[in-house]
Amino acid sequence: MPDESDKNETENENYDVIVIGTSQGGRFLPIDLAKAGKKVALVERGHLGGVCVNTGCTPTKTMVASARLAHQARRGAAYGVRTGPVSVDLAAVRERTRAMVAGARDNYASRLPREGLDLIEGEARFTGPKTLEIALTGGGTRQIGAPVIVVDTGTRPRALTISGARDVPVLDSTSVMELDELPEHLIILGGGYIGLEFGQMFRRFGSDVTIVQTGPRLMKNEDEDVSDEVAAILREDGITVLTSSTPSRIENARSGRVLLTVVTPDGERRIEGSHLLSAIGRVPNTEALAPAAAGIRLSDRGFIEVDEFLETSAPGVYAMGDVKGGPAFTHLSYDDYRVLRANLLGGEKASTRDRVVPYTTFIDPQLGRVGMTERQAREENRSVLVAKLPMSAVIRALETGETRGFMKAVIDADTHQILGATVLGPEGGEIMTIIQVAMLGGLPHTAMADAIFTHPLLAEGLNTLFATADA
C-alpha cells in the first residue's frame, strides 16, 4: 500500500474510484473495489474508522457498559447480594474505552489490501467535477482525479451559539469522553438520543445530572407515551429533566463552574453546574470539500442531496452515511455501502427506496424502534390497531427485576401487517429486531401472537403483546 510521502506534491494521478472518509460504509467499499481490481484512493483526514469507531458507537457503548455495571452493583441488596460502597474510577473507564477504540482501528487497518488501494492522509477539496486537491497531513498537496468519487465525510457536533458559550468551557459528545474526573453536576443541553445516553451514564457514574430540552418532550421523534415513559425512568434514576426550557445565557461562576440561565414555563431559572455538555445535534462535514466546485447540490442545512441510488447532482459523484442527511445510524451507512457495492461492482440498480430502518437508543432499559410510530400511522389516516404491554407483565422481566418500560406495536387493521414497533425494556433492541424480522417476512401480527417462544425469555412477551391487538 503506497504511502503519500512517495508521491510528488505536484503529481496529478488518476484513479478508478476515490472514496473520501472511512465511516461504516467508507471503511468497506474501497476494500471491495480494490479486491475487484479497481485502482482506489482512500482519503482520510483523521483516524481510520470514522465517527462510529472513534467517537461514536464503540466508545460510548463501552462506557455505557461500565455505567450499567455500576448501577447493577448498587442494586445488589435488592437481589440478596451484599456489596460494599460502589465508586467509579473515570480515568480507568476512559482507558478501557481508549483501548477498545484502538483495537477497532487496528483491526480495520489490518484489513486494508496492499494492492490496488492507496491510503492518502489529508483533507480533500474538490477542484472540479471529478478532481480533488488533498492537503496532506504531513504537509504539501496532491492532486488526484477519478470518474467515480464517493463522499463519506460524516458529521460533527453542532457548535453551541447561545450568549456566553464562547466564554466558558463547553463539552461535546467527543470531549466529554476524555474527562478523567467525574463532574459534580453535569448540565446537558439537548434531550435527544445522545444527551439521554450520556445523562444516564454520568448519573450512574455518580454525577448529579440536569437535562435541558427546548421542546415540550424528550425524544421528539417518538410517540408521546414513549417520551413520557423515558422521562419518568430518567427522573426515577435521579436526573433532573426540564422540558419546554430554552437556554438563554451561560456565564462563568465561582471556582470554574458554569451558570446557565434557562427560560422555563414557570419563568427564568438559573442552574449552576461543574460541567456543561452540548448535545444539540450534529452538522455535516461539507465546508472543506468545496462541493460547489464539483456541482454538488446541498440542502438548506448543508447536507449533500442524493437520489435513491445515492448519486449527487454531479454525475458519478455519490454520497453515503451521515453527510447525506436523514437518520444518522451506523447500520444505515453500512446499507448505503451495500447499495453502492451492488451498483458500482455488480451493475445493479439497488435503491434506498422504502427501506425499513431500525434503531436502538442505549439508555437502560434500551429503546428499540422500527417502522412507523402510532402518530405517523394516524397522520397517514391508516386504520390501525395498537398493541401495548407493560414490561411488568413479562415473566422474565419480573424474574430479573427489570420491569420498567413497555412494548408497543402498530398494526394495519385491514391487512394485519405490522407497521412498526417500539420496545422500551431490557434488551429492547434485541426484542425489536425479532419484530423487524417478522415485518421483513410479511408475517401478520397473529403469527407473532401464536408463535411458540421459549419460556421464560423476554421474547415470550411478544405472544401477549400481539394478542392484545385483538382484545
Catalytic residues, by residue number, are 455
E-strand ranges in 222-344 read 240-242, 246-252, 258-264, 267-273, 275-278, 282-284, 317-319
Q: Which cell numbers hold the place of 110?
A: 489490518
Q: Which cell numbers hold the place of 328?
A: 444518522
d(CA 204, CA 206): 5
Residue 23 per-residue DSSP state: S
Say which amino acid occupies 39: K
- Residue-wise over 417-448: b if at least 16 C-beta within 10 A, else e? ebbbbbbbbbbbbebbbbbbebbeeebbbeeb
- Cis check for the bond before 315: say yes or no (omega within 30 of 0): no
Helix then strand count (H, E) for the chain reads: 12, 22
The CA distances from residue 119 to 264, 289, 383, in Å, are 51, 18, 53
d(CA 211, CA 189): 6
Distance from CA of residue 67 to its chain's centroid?
A: 18
Closest CA to 260 of 328, 210, 299: 210
Q: Which cell numbers hold the place of 425?
A: 425494556
- Residue-wise over 254-267: b if at least 16 C-beta within 10 A, else e? eeebbbbbbeeeee
E-strand ranges in 79-116 read none
Residue 283 per-residue DSSP state: E
359 in Cβ contact with 348 (< 8 Å): no
140 in Cβ contact with 122 (< 8 Å): no
Closest CA to 191 of 97, 274, 279: 279
Q: How many CA atoms lie within 13 A of 408 on its CB side?
A: 23
The CA distances from residue 85 to 73, 92, 206, in Å, are 9, 18, 12
The CA distances from residue 266 to 244, 246, 249, 269, 301, in Å, are 10, 12, 17, 8, 33
Say which amino acid occupies 409: A
